[in-house]
Chain A
Amino acid sequence: MSETDADTVGRDGAPLGKRGGERPIAIEFRDVAKTYGSGPPALSRLSLSIARGDLVVLIGPSGSGKSTALGLINRLIEPTAGTVSVDGADVRRSDPVTLRRRIGFVFQGVGLFPHLTVAENVGITPRLLDWPADRTAARVRELLELVRLDPRFASRYPRQLSGGEQQRVGIARALAAGPDIMLLDEPFAALDPLVRDELGAEYRAIHDRLRLTTVMVSHDMTEALLLADRIVVLRDGGLVQEGTPRQVVTAPADNFVRSLIEAPRRRAEQLRRALEGGAP
């Protein structure tokens, strides 16, 4: 199963997505820098455009600035220099609360509110937007179906759910107010591999179906190659390479990128050999 998925990388890498001429830019970083306190810059002069409809994976080792870049988009983090724009407007000119209600955010592991039920978690942003209760309830049902959770889960608390189920709720919650843009911070990293693959593929389907623009942070190159329209490789707060999965695999910018793609490539080789030679 994972073998056929691996094969689709090549197909997916150059779809209608990128080459299809000029699409509007959803998110733009222009010379963005961020320094925390007196430390070294977490991000230095990053310039990057993300086209509407793309699923972009920011990848790099810890400390590369990928989570900082994500937080800058919905103003969880404010830049030290440069400009971040969403739909052409400088985010610093928009109210952070309004901005965040328009942008879905999914966290690694824990981000659910432990004192609220699944339904209340999913319905939190509609509640903040003063939706009527019946509209919120209908939206919650629709979203649980979208993320393939049994409606019976609605009245449970997060601690009663498995990790995978919790993250489905996390995705549903981020989608609740119908955002165009989704930000995912290592959403599947804490899950076991089987669930991770399954949820990744499902998210990709949701992204396509709802025509979202997604920025996902990951440190897993396999995941990036499988899911992304475009991959942005970061290291030490700087951009190393930006391109389609195919471009990254076939023309790595330097030894660092090469080392990043080495692991999935080697595993794919090993897998192929094992399946060819080792079949009883």
Chain B
Amino acid sequence: MSGGTAWSSAFALLPEYLGQHVLLSLSAIVLGTAISLPLAILAARSRVLRTPALAFANIVQTIPGLALLALFYPLLLGLSAFTASRFGFSLPALGFLPALLALTLYSMLPVLTNTIAGLSGIDPAVKTAALAAGMTRRQSLVLVELPLAAPVIMAGIRIAAVWVIGTATLSTPVGQTSLGNYIFTGLQTENWVFVLFGCAAAALLALVVDRLLALAESGFAKRSRLRLAFAALGVMLLIAASVAPMEGGAAAPRIVIGAKNFEEQYILSELIAARLERAGFRTTRKDDLGSTIIFRALAAGDIDVYVDYSGTIWANEMRRPDSPGRAAVLRDMAAWLKAQFGIRDLGSLGFENAYVLAMRSDRARQLGIRSLADLAAYAPQLKIGGDYEFFARPEWASVEKAYGLHFAQKRTFQPTFLYRAVRDGDVDVIAGFSSDGRIAQYDLALLTDPKSALPPYDAVLLVSPKHANDTKLVGALTPLIGRIDLTRMQRANLAVDSGKQTPEAGARLLEQQMPNSN
């Protein structure tokens, strides 16, 4: 993909991403301030409350933003199970709600500390004067203390706003669209224009909001109604300008298509979207989800359709340590999914994307390593790289156990950088994906698995319980089953991964090459 088209496709996504980003940040700041302000007012008067309130906000602040966002997923999932059993309604555990809650917590510390500081910093003589003039405590607060503390409080809100706008880019992995979509997708597809565009857009937004709130702050400090009016006008214009161009969403329910955090998943999600839209569905995407999150989200109905891999479900969800062979895995898994969750498995797309251990061919030849069994002797001198999940997955445990592998060092990488790391010699072995085009491109040797410690990883198309019997949806997707072979998938992956094609173009490529495509 050339630079020019990358810029124009980035701009084309801006209304949706910016609108969602602003809506999310605004909601979090408003909610955070609405909670923090009364809490701070109480805390300013009571030491008993002040210490725990500040301690809590401080602890929240030390949690990395991404982790805080991720924590709300299981939390909401548990809460949702509770409300569903007790009150008969469930909560969405992905998307807006977890992002909103995490960012709300994140916004609280500066508002709390500044409000407490602002209120405690008021000259006691002025407070006595307020009482002596015959004010109740509430009147003193509203007429005297809050107006006097307003510039300091506003400064706290300003800090919170900048933090929230920056951190909101991390809400992409919990399924909430934001300017972070540019960054996550760009990082994955090595589309540096996207990464840059996402960073610049988020920074610019933060800067504009910072300036507007600084104007409001000085308006409070200087008691200038004009400044306050301009600041309010600016904020309203900004909100209107970013939210108005968003596509009106509520009209028809959309089919939510999930994707994990690598190219193949983006391409397949585009392919699914294209087919569904042609069949008259409206679709929306939730990208960059982790393996466990995406499965739970499907079971809970937060997403409606996505592609998973049989081995992943076999090992991670079914907790099966054995490997009874490809056909048995597919059969047992489909039955298990239906019985446990009501999830419909439409079948295998026709290719496998297995976890494979790979080395540079020259290095493998030099050491005489062909299989995982050969690897065991050299492992203590070698470094291995994996994606964020691999070393925590049961498959790794079974491989480690089956072959007695003990590496000198384990490192984790964003999938994009994983293949480069082994090519450039940063690590000796990687746990990659068999369908990744870079295996061929970088001349990597796949190590065989004679003990079948790794299960098969057929790509399977899964549909949420809600749409399991939706014949129109199932009918639109069934033609994909068995039509995508490994070579085609690798080619599409490579085209996207090298930054030459968008996932959308990759999906078109895949569809054109499909046998008997209609």
Contact = CB atoms under 8 A, between A and B. Distances in A.
Q: Do A and B bind each other?
A: yes
Interface stretch (A52-60, A108-116, A212-220, A259-267): A108-116
Interface centre among B126, B129, B130, B144 (most CB of A within 10 A): B129
Contacts of B125: 107, 109-111
A111 B148 contact: no
A98 B133 CA distance: 10
Nearest to A101: B134
B223 A128 contact: no
A64 interface: no
B223 A105 contact: no
Q: What does DSSP make chain B's interface, helix, strand, loop or mixed?
A: helix
A113 B130 contact: yes
B126 A128 contact: no
Contacts, number: 58
Contacts of A128: 133-135, 139
A115 B134 contact: no
- Give chain B's interface residue range (CB within 8 Å of chain A): 10 to 19
A162 B134 CA distance: 26
Q: What does DSSP make chain A's interface, helix, strand, loop or mixed?
A: loop
A195 to B, nearest CB: 20
Nearest to A157: B223
B123 interface: yes
A125 interface: yes
Interface in B117-161: 123, 125-126, 128-136, 139, 143-144, 147-148
B133 A107 contact: no
A112 B132 contact: no
A109 B143 CA distance: 20
Interface string B210-244: 00000000000001000000000000000000000
A173 B133 contact: yes
A76 B133 contact: no
B134 A113 contact: no
A110 B148 CA distance: 14
Contact of B134 (A109, A110, A114, A125): A125
Interface in A112-128: 112-115, 124-125, 128
A111 to B, nearest CB: 4
A173 B133 CA distance: 8
Contact of B123 (A76, A110, A183): A110
Given A107-B125, A109-B125, A114-B148, A76 B134 contact: no
Nearest to A109: B125
B249 to A, nearest CB: 43
A111 B139 contact: no
A97 interface: yes
Given A97-B134, A100-B134, A128-B135, A115 B148 contact: yes
Contacts of B130: 113
Nearest to B220: A115
B131 A100 contact: yes
A230 B156 CA distance: 52
- Nearest 9 interchain pairs by C-beta: A101-B134, A105-B132, A111-B129, A100-B134, A110-B125, A115-B147, A124-B133, A125-B133, A128-B134
Interface of B: 123, 125-126, 128-136, 139, 143-144, 147-148, 223
Interface of A: 74, 76, 97-98, 100-101, 105, 107, 109-115, 124-125, 128-129, 157, 173, 177, 183
21 contacts: A74-B132, A76-B128, A98-B134, A100-B133, A101-B134, A105-B133, A107-B125, A107-B129, A109-B125, A110-B126, A111-B128, A111-B129, A111-B132, A112-B129, A113-B129, A115-B148, A124-B135, A124-B143, A129-B134, A157-B223, A183-B132
